[in-house]
């Protein structure tokens, strides 16, 4: 399978040419019918894909899926939608989820902006997660960062009143940039106080990537805002 997307001049990611294992490849045949959602099916009906009800959390860019899988297992009463463009990560997540009989997960392998614009209902999300996005640290590439003022307002439209926007990054400059974007965005309030970073919420697992960075002395910044 290939990622689904509409044509755009600027993207927040680059499709990496990572090879899929046989297990990841076969996961699409076995588990995609259970977990997969298609961009081209248009708006979703949450009561249909999650008939048991419960809060809905959407995460963009789940990588290889370790932390998202952990969250689905530790909060079985909460429903999770993951969006990722890289097939090896998607294949790994749905393979692990299927083997562990996870019931509260759906996945898009598509451009996140396309999914948010075309598929996610207004005022439907309890929490939005953006963990360790590509910082595009060179100034000339900053326009590729997914976190832009327009994106922040798109997310606000999808959050329920009181819904949470949660971003985490290990790039201090990106954290400062994100804090400025969120602090000046209409319709949000900083859960930690004006221009303050949050203590890591218990629901966000530590990733291997994060643990490796901490050993090297890298910091991690959590930015948590609420839709007002």
Active site annotation includes 222: no
Cα of 198 vs its chain's centroid, Å = 18
- Counting Cα atoms < 13 Å in the Cβ hemisphere of 51 gives 1
Give the Å distances, CA to CA, from 56 to 6, 75, 91, 124.
25, 11, 22, 7
Q: How far apart are CA 200 and CA 224, in angstroms?
A: 9
Q: For the range 177-180, what are the long-range contacts, defined as Cβ-Cβ under 8 Å and sequence gap of 24 or more?
A: 177/142, 177/145, 177/147, 178/147, 178/221, 178/223, 179/223
CA atoms within a 13 Å half-sphere pointing along the CA-CB vector of 112: 27
Task: Round the CA-based radius of gyration of the chain to a whole number and report it.
Answer: 17
For 74, what's the count of Cα atoms within 13 Å in the CB-facing half-sphere? 10
- For 158, phi and psi rounded to 5 degrees? -90, -20
Among 134, 157, 170, 186, which one carries the catalytic annotation? 134
> Would you say the C-alpha torsion 183, 60, 39, 105 has a positive or negative sign?
negative
> Which residues participate in catalysis according to the annotation?
134
């Amino acid at each position: 399978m290939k990622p689904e997307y509409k044509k755009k001049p600027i993207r927040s990611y680059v499709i990496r040419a990572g090879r899929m294992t046989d297990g990841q490849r076969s996961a699409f045949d076995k588990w995609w019918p259970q977990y997969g959602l298609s961009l081209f099916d248009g708006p979703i009906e949450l009561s249909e894909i999650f008939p048991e009800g419960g809060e809905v959390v959407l995460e963009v860019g789940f990588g290889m899926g370790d932390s998202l899988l952990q969250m689905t297992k530790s909060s079985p009463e909460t429903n999770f939608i993951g969006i990722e463009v890289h097939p090896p990560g998607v294949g790994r997540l749905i393979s692990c989820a299927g083997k562990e009989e996870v019931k509260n997960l759906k996945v898009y392998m598509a451009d996140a902006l396309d999914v948010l614009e075309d598929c996610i209902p207004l005022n439907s999300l309890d929490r939005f997660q953006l963990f360790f996005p590509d910082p595009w640290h060179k100034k000339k590439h900053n326009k590729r960062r997914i976190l832009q003022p327009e994106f922040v307002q798109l997310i606000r439209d999808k959050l329920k009143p009181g819904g949470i926007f949660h971003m985490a990054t290990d790039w201090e400059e990106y954290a400062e940039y994100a804090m400025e974007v969120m602090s000046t965005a209409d319709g949000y309030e900083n859960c930690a106080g004006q221009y303050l970073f949050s203590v890591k919420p218990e629901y966000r697992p530590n990733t291997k990537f994060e643990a490796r960075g901490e050993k090297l002395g890298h910091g991690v910044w959590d930015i948590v805002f609420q839709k007002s």
